[in-house]
Structures are given as C-alpha cells and as structure tokens.
Amino acid sequence: FVALTLVPVASRSGGRRPVMDALGLVLGMGLLGSAVVAAVPEQLVRLLGGTEYLDAAGLLLAFTGLGTLWALCQVLLFAEMARGHRSLTVIALVATAAGALVVLVTDTRTAGAIVATYAAVALVVAVIGSARFLLSRGEPGAVTTAAPTGSALP
C-alpha cells in the first residue's frame, strides 16, 4: 500500500522526498516487524498458523527480512514506473528468473536456502534501484528528454 500511494506523487515530479519517506516507512515497518518476530517467533506462529507450523518459527525472521527487502524494491519499482521508466522492472524480472534458475540447477530443497537465494535477488534489485535513484538527481528514473514542441506534456 505504501508504494501505491507513491505513484501519483512521484508522477508529478515530487522529487526525492516522497520516495525517501516511503523507503523510510517501509524500512521502519520492517525493522519493527523484525523486532517483534525476533522476540516471540513461536508465539506468532502458534497464533497465526497453528502448532503444526512451529517448525517454521526459526525462519520467521528470515521471511520478515525477505518481505522487507521486496517491499523496498516495490517502492523503487513504483517510483521509477511513475516516471515512465521500465528498466528496473526488467532488472527485477531477470534477477528473479536467475534466482529461479539457481534454485532449480542447485536442486535447492530447504526453505532457508530458497529464502537466502531470493533475499540475494531482492538485495541486488534494491541496490541497483537505490543507485539509480541516487544518480538520477532526485527524481527516480528522471526523464532526460524534453517533450516535443507544442506537446501537451509538462
């Protein structure tokens, strides 16, 4: 929901502030979620999934971290798409496909290894997206070509 609220603001050339605020909010929620999960993982699994899933309690923090990384990616993806750019989307798709290939080729069978693979994928996408954001002079995926003369585009 955070990324979706960013699209209208970012598409109106809102600069860095809305994107930085959204990234900070997502990161804060992820850190808060991680603190809660680290403090009471078994209780959360019992409450949310039932006792038959208690074996997953050890992975709850990893899943929270993975979700936070992908949420950061989503903010960066939506911010760039709001500016009419799709290159980070292509990067995310290629990286995700590469992650699937790694899982298939290495015959990965544990949830922890799959989470680690996709955390690495999300980290790559987040780092590339962040670098693009920082290098775009304040506007994610900033459009560098001028609109044609007489165009209705701002």
Helix, strand, or coil here: 83?
coil
The whole-angstrom separation of Cα 44 and Cα 38 is 10
Residue given tokens 């019992």 in the structure block = 46
Question: Which residues, at least 6 apart from 79, have a Cβ–Cβ distance to it below 8 Å?
Answer: 3, 6, 7, 10, 18, 19, 22, 133, 140, 141
Confidence (pTM)? 0.81
Dump pLDDT digits (tens) for 110-135: 999 999 999 999 999 999 999 988 88
Give the lowest-confidence range in 28-32, 120-124, 125-129, 138-142.
138-142
pLDDT at 151: 45
Question: Which residues, at least 6 apart from 147, have a Cβ–Cβ distance to it below 8 Å?
Answer: 153, 154
The whole-angstrom separation of Cα 59 and Cα 63 is 6
CA atoms within 13 A on the CB side of 132: 25
The whole-angstrom separation of Cα 58 and Cα 37 is 10
